[in-house]
Structure 1
Amino acid sequence: MSNRKPYVRPMNRTWWSKHPFYRFYMLREATVLPLILFTLFMLCGLASLVKGPQAWVEWQHFMQNPLVIAINIVALAGSLFHAATFFNMMPQVMPIRVKGKLLAPKMIIATQWAAVAVISLIVLILV
């Protein structure tokens, strides 16, 4: 056996910041952070709804805090950014054929956004 040590290339913490592809990827993945907070806020709202009217009113006052509103706006922007990048990637990942011909990528993306709009409209009507 050899006593030689294998070469290990040094890697610093910010290796990803030197390449635009990895910066974009890290930004996309970082959109989960405000979404985690949004989900926790909603879970607290559900718990307060179960606890009774007083807890529900307190949660509603908490949700009116400007910092919470800012976090929710960032979460919305992050989820829309995440959806846009996912929708743009979809035609490459899963090309769709209709009658043997590939569907145009713009058509696939537009269909996905239309589905989001329809579902959002249905939720707005129900609420």
Structure 2
Amino acid sequence: MSNRKPYVREMKRSWWQNHPFYRMYMLREATVIPLILFTLFITFGLGALVKGPDAWATWLAFMSSPIVVLINILALIGSLFHAYTFFNMMPQVMPMRFKGKTLDKKAIVLAQWAAVAFISLIVLVIV
């Protein structure tokens, strides 16, 4: 048996800051924090709605706080960033063919954004 130790490369905490791909990856992963807070706020809002008018009024006052509004804006930006990166990645992950020909990548991305706009319009009309 050998007494030699295997080589273990040192890994600094800032390893991801040296490459643009990893910086964007870490930024995308960090956007989950405001999304989690937004989900919790909405969940508590549903609970307040069930509890009655006083709890609902308290929740509405909480939601109008500038910090909560800022968190909600960050959650919206994070969601749009996730959609942007996912939509741009989609044609490479799953190339689509129509009548034997590969569809243009831009057309696939634009179709996804058009679907988002259409569904958003339907939700705005309903609400």
After TM superposition, is the score higher than 0.5? yes
2:112 counterpart residue number = 112
Output the amino acid matched with 1:36: I
1:19 counterpart residue number = 19
Structure 1 residue 31 corresponds to structure 2 residue 31: yes
Quote the Cα distance in structure 2 between the aligned partners of 1:82 and 1:28: 7
2:85 counterpart residue number = 85
Output the amino acid matched with 2:49: L
* TM-superposed deviation, 1:102: 0.5
Q: Which runs of no fewer than 5 residues in structure 2 stay unpaired? A: none
- Give the TM-score normalised by structure 2: 0.97
* TM-superposed deviation, 1:2: 1.4
Output the amino acid matched with 2:5: K
Aligned positions, number: 127
Output the amino acid matched with 1:60: L
Quote the Cα distance in structure 2 between the aligned partners of 1:56 and 1:17: 44
2:9 counterpart residue number = 9
Quote the Cα distance in structure 1 between the aligned partners of 2:57 and 2:122: 27
| Identity across the alignment (%) | 71
2:46 counterpart residue number = 46
Cα RMSD, aligned residues only: 0.7
**1:50-75 Cα deviation digits (max 9, x unpaired):** 11111011101100001100110011
Quote the Cα distance in structure 2 between the aligned partners of 1:72 and 1:49: 19
**1:3-40 Cα deviation digits (max 9, x unpaired):** 21111111111100011110011111111111001001
SS at match of 1:9: coil
Q: Which runs of no fewer than 5 residues in structure 1 stay unpaired? A: none
